[in-house]
Amino acid sequence: MSNEFDSNDTLPDFAKVGQPVPEFTLDAFDPTEGGFVNVDLGALRKEGKWVILFFYPADFTFVCPTELADLATRYEDLKKLGAEVVSVSTDTQYSHMAWKTSERLLENVRFKMGADPTGEVSRFFDVWDYDTGLALRGTFIINPEGVLVSSEINFYNVGRNADELVRKVEANTYLIQHPAEVCPAKWTPGQKTLTPTDQMVGKVYEALIDVD
């Protein structure tokens, strides 16, 4: 079964933050079940899931297994926040299975490993490198309403930090319940948020420390 977008949607050129993401399917290897599955963004949306798409360049490379291993350490935390993680590269699901079996760094990976060999999904999320045919290191957070709320793209040579990804999901899950508020830099659950008003213009310092 090939990857495909819902033909009923008129696709924009690229995914854009703040805009809906069309429903699509993605072939994948499921390390938990040990077999091949189909990831359906529409089905995850109906379940009320947040979706994290974690693009990386290729299986059997060097930085990539360290990133997936790091992400695996926070997978249960992300699931508790209502999120499902799908790692994605331009390899096939068969390559994912072989890599997961041979690379010891991946022994704790339990999230589905999506296959995008045609690059269709990678091109839509603007991580496709036309010179190499690989995907750059892109991280995308889609809320349960299907809206892209976070986009991060890094080059090949620097790995990401799953702790910061968890922080972003924590902030976004809080804000979807409190839409009038905003989260300041380095916000973590339990810390003060801001509710912007005209009186706060030029007075953010005072608002953060409750000084009149």
Query: What pLDDT was estimated at residue 210?
Result: 72
Residues of the chain with pLDDT under 70: 1-12, 211-212
Please work out, in degrees rounded to the nearest 5, the angle formed at the alpha carbon of residue 127 by the alpha carbons of 187 and 39: 85
Q: What's the rounded Cα separation, in Å, for the pair 23 and 147?
A: 11
Please check whether residue 136 lies inside any domain of the structure: yes
**Counting every residue, how long is the chain?**
212
The H-assigned helical ranges of the chain are 41-46, 63-73, 75-80, 93-102, 120-124, 162-177, 204-209
With respect to residue 95, please indicate whether it lies within any of the assigned structural domains.
Answer: yes
Q: Taking a C-beta distance cutoff of 8 angstroms, is the pair 117, 90 a contact?
A: yes
pTM above 0.75, yes or no: yes
User: Does residue 185 form part of some domain?
Assistant: no
pLDDT value at position 11? 56
Are 6 and 118 in contact, with CB atoms under 8 Å apart?
no
User: In this predicted model, what pLDDT tens digit does every residue of 102-115 receive, in sequence order?
Assistant: 999 999 999 999 99
Using one digit for the tens of pLDDT, what is the confidence trace for 57-81?
999 999 999 999 999 999 999 999 9
How many domains does the chain fold into? Answer: 1
Query: In terms of residue numbers, what domain contains 140?
Result: 4-160
Residue 13 pLDDT: 81
* Residues catalogued as catalytic: 64
32: in domain: yes
Distance of CA 113 to the CA centre of its chain: 12
Predicted confidence at residue 79, as pLDDT, reads 98
Residue 36 sits in a domain of what CATH number?
3.40.30.10
The CA R_g of the chain, rounded to the nearest whole Å, is: 18
Residue 60 domain-assigned?
Answer: yes
What is the C-alpha to C-alpha distance for residues 177 and 5, in angstroms, rounded to an integer? 29
- Determine, yes or no, domain membership for 24: yes
Q: Has residue 171 been placed in a domain? A: no
Cβ atoms 112, 36 nearer than 8 A: no
> Is residue 20 assigned to a domain?
yes
